Amino acid sequence: MDSIAVRGNGPLYGDISVSGAKNSAIKLMAATILTDQPVRLTNMPRLADTKFLGQLLRQFGVTVTESDGPDGQQTLFDAKDITSTFAPYDLVRQMRASFNVLGPLLARTGHAKVSLPGGCTIGARPVDLHLDALSRLGAVIELEEGYVSAVAPKGLKGAEIEFPFVSVGATEHTLMAAVLAEGTTVLRRAAREPEIGDLVRCLTAMGAKIEGVDTDTLTITGVTSLKGTDWAVIADRIEMGSYACAAAMAGGEVRLTKAAPGLIASLMDPMVEAGVEVTPTDDGVIVKRDPAVRLKAVNVATEVYPGFATDLQAQFMALM
């Protein structure tokens, strides 16, 4: 598609159900490798990334079954038998976050061979924080022809790891590997995004022992195995914020549902300052603006969570 033609039709009114967050769903999908019992994820987004990761999980022997349930779209994952621990470049290159299967495979089976997201071009998608953390947990890692080969024949061991800077991917990846490691792992300067909190809570429901959820220090006490669970994927805060900005631009009144108001707290404050009415509800927010009233100029600065999200900068700029 070369272009999208949009014809304005006045203010916006209605209810919108916010979809499940892709950035949470794909990490929860990777976490299903950690147990030999079924895991059902509800509120699942149907996107290219989740499709590609589903194909990769099938490569390992995981049964992936999509369906429509009473709570919307859902997917059942059954990793009872891991028949392969090889993730080829042709699959990993289609979705960079699929590299995060390395840690769960290593924790579950003791070995894995996963393509670097950029193939032989390691600089195309730096993963040094991921590999360093897995090494600290006792993995022996070799890089060869665009692949990471990792082994932990005696299992992973707990360690204290302080990231040099906040990294969402490295935090999630190390967390998934550490839940089955022997002993205690402490992650310092951990990322605090809601998607990480969703992963922590799901792993806890599966039997993991994790303290410090929603803080920058996570303490993981390793367990010998995890169980299956049913888990609803957290709402997509970027989708939620995009719809909120659209309602503020066009005027009218839009109710966003199936999403916690706190997910867009950093957006709500500058919107209110600009003259938009934002009212939290039990399952979302109501965004309201009289289109005849001109908005006020507001300054924002993007920051790591819980600051203003970089992925909402473009939408807010258009609103301004």
Check pLDDT > 90 for residue 71.
no
Mean of per-residue pLDDT scores for the chain: 94
Active site residue 120: yes
User: In the numeric block, which tokens belong to residue 51?
Assistant: 């499709």
200 and 57 together in one domain: yes
132 and 264 together in one domain: no
What pLDDT is attached to residue 241? Answer: 98
pLDDT in tens, 138-175: 999 999 888 999 999 889 999 999 999 999 999 999 99
With bands split at pLDDT 50, 70 and 90, how would you rate the model's confidence at 120? very low
pLDDT in tens, 226-282: 999 999 999 999 999 999 999 999 999 999 999 999 999 999 999 999 999 999 999
Spot the catalytic one: 15, 46, 80, 120.
Answer: 120
Q: What is the pTM of this model?
A: 0.94
The share of the chain scoring above pLDDT 70, in percent, equals: 97
Q: How many domains does the chain have?
A: 2
Asked if 92 and 114 touch (Cβ cutoff 8 Å), the reply is: yes
Asked if 243 and 16 touch (Cβ cutoff 8 Å), the reply is: yes
Alpha helices in the chain (DSSP H): 22-31, 48-59, 89-92, 102-109, 128-136, 168-178, 194-205, 237-250, 265-274, 313-319
Check pLDDT > 60 for residue 22.
yes
127 and 153 together in one domain: yes
**Would you call the peptide bond into 104 cis, given omega within 30 degrees of 0 as the criterion?**
no
Strand partners, 125: none
Which region among 3-7, 57-61, 114-118 has the lowest average model confidence (pLDDT)? 114-118
Q: CATH number for the domain including 188?
A: 3.65.10.10
User: In the numeric block, which tokens belong to residue 313?
Assistant: 């900068």
In a domain, 68, yes or no: yes
What pLDDT is attached to residue 203? Answer: 98
In terms of residue numbers, what domain contains 302?
A: 12-18+236-319
Cα separation, 226 vs 205, whole angstroms: 9
250 and 196 together in one domain: no
What pLDDT is attached to residue 122? Answer: 45
What's the mean pLDDT in 286-292? 96
What pLDDT is attached to residue 178? Answer: 98
User: In the numeric block, which tokens belong to residue 230?
Assistant: 């049913």
With bands split at pLDDT 50, 70 and 90, how would you rate the model's confidence at 30? very high
Check pLDDT > 90 for residue 125.
no
In a domain, 273, yes or no: yes
What pLDDT is attached to residue 266? Answer: 96
76 and 148 together in one domain: yes
167 and 273 together in one domain: no
Please say which residue of 199, 232, 265 terminates a domain: 232
Asked if 142 and 149 touch (Cβ cutoff 8 Å), the reply is: yes
What pLDDT is attached to residue 118? Answer: 61
pLDDT in tens, 194-227: 999 999 999 999 999 999 999 999 999 999 999 9
In a domain, 1, yes or no: no
In a domain, 118, yes or no: yes
The share of the chain scoring above pLDDT 90, in percent, equals: 88
Cα separation, 30 vs 101, whole angstroms: 6
Check pLDDT > 80 for residue 135.
yes
What pLDDT is attached to residue 124? Answer: 44
In a domain, 276, yes or no: yes
